Structure 1
């Protein structure tokens, strides 16, 4: 991990400062997924256990013995097992179990114990901000909000992601649907009109993966090309400008195997195992050894390790 470590969220056993280069998280092995909130981190391991570290004042670490302080070393979340995926946003945490149920905790010092939500048959979860109602993908390809309301006019979905006040869904036909706020053009339909129901992203097909930042979206096509649209005030679209885009633009020189969007930055995992990043870098989140913002992708410093998966906050 790398980036802001003010609350120990990088997991180095210490807190404070920034990790501008990739560092190995203490105590963790066999990790299959991770998620980062505002100042805390979650990881799920192959045995279905969830580990948490960082800021604990709002119960987001899921452990009554780790509240009202910061905890820079990963520890297991008690009484939570058979987990296959995790999500984190602001001061909240979520876990998806193998049985298709969602468990959520955090938000206040009294919200430490994971609570089961009413939705069942879930295969993926996403929440982009504490003010947004999170979304869940059912195994039948339909999308629901975490209050149990189905998103109308949307089926055949294979992946979901969510930003601040808007959402995106990837359909099995390789097209992308978006809905919600559109002030920065983040819906990618060529307008800045808000949409209550899903619309198709303009001029984009054969998409294999999507990832949503605060107000921008990154998509990876089957051919490894990476495309982005929406808010670009920090260069988070990686196209060499700081001009917002209402339709997808292609990033130059990227042949990706994976993507991740942070609040106002982006990352791509190249097929050769290197990580390239762009956008805001105030907390060293680009991992290039500096705190200088970038409008085009730059190579991160992974200390000679071949990276297999990337996640963001």
Structure 2
């Protein structure tokens, strides 16, 4: 007969998590952890390997994680200071960096997003943020009109643009 332990070790409190096609991430007491396939460095651990168990994904500054969003090959976190930090694939500018488009293996802030973010969502080629005041700003691919404008194109869009609801 199996014995049931009389007490279990304390488990960390998870406040948010997201699971994509190939990896997952969670926020526990303000710290981000990721696990699964490290496609395009989307685990944000700074390490090259995939992880079977949650591994620390440190932010680029002292801000703490509050909300997480993952897609097939990138991850974005909304931080306690209202910023967004992302890692992974950047072919379409979906990390909001404005540089070469090379994958990033660690969290870095979305530059040019000065608004206080209250929610972030990622997809394979783009990301969007709901900011204080109710505006939605998106960056990355616009191949299918993901940026919410009147045009579509195959260019990189690392600068967030506001979506206009009509």
1:162 equivalenced with 2:19 (yes/no): yes
* Counterpart in the other structure of 1:267: 128
SS at match of 1:196: strand
Task: Give the C-alpha shift of residue 203 in structure 1.
Answer: 3.2
In structure 2, distance between residues paired with 1:164 and 1:296 = 26
Counterparts of 1:79-228 in structure 2, within 5 Å, are 155-171=12-28, 173-203=29-59, 205-228=63-86
Q: How many residues align?
A: 149
RMSD, aligned α-carbons? 1.6
Change (3 A) 1:203 1:259: closer
Q: Is the 8 A contact 2:31 2:58 kept in 1?
A: no
Offset, 1:261: 0.8
Q: Normalised by the size of structure 1, how large is the TM-score?
A: 0.45
* Residue 280 (structure 1) shift: 1.2
Report 1 or 2 for greater relative contact order, CA contacts < 8 Å, sequence distance ≥ 6.
2
Could you tell me the TM-score, scaled by structure 2's length?
A: 0.83
Contact 2:15/2:66 (CA < 8 Å) preserved in 1? no
- The alignment partner of 2:67 has SS state of strand
Q: Which residue of 2 aligns with 1:299?
A: 162
Q: 4+ residue runs of structure 1 moved beyond 3 angstroms?
A: none
2-structure distance, mates of 1:288, 1:249: 26
Alpha-carbon deviations, 1:66-95, whole Å to 9, x = none? xxxxxxxxxxxxxxxxxxxxxxxxxxxxxx
Structure 1 unaligned blocks of 5 or more: 1-153, 304-313
> Conserved in 2, the CA contact under 8 Å of 1:289 and 1:300?
no
Q: Deviation of residue 289 (structure 1)?
A: 2.1
Larger radius of gyration: 1
SS in 2 for 1:184: helix
CA distance in 1, matches of 2:39, 2:70: 15
| Alpha-carbon separation, structure 2, partners of 1:264 and 1:254 | 22
Asked if structure 1 preserves the Cα contact closer than 8 Å seen for 2:59 and 2:85, the reply is no
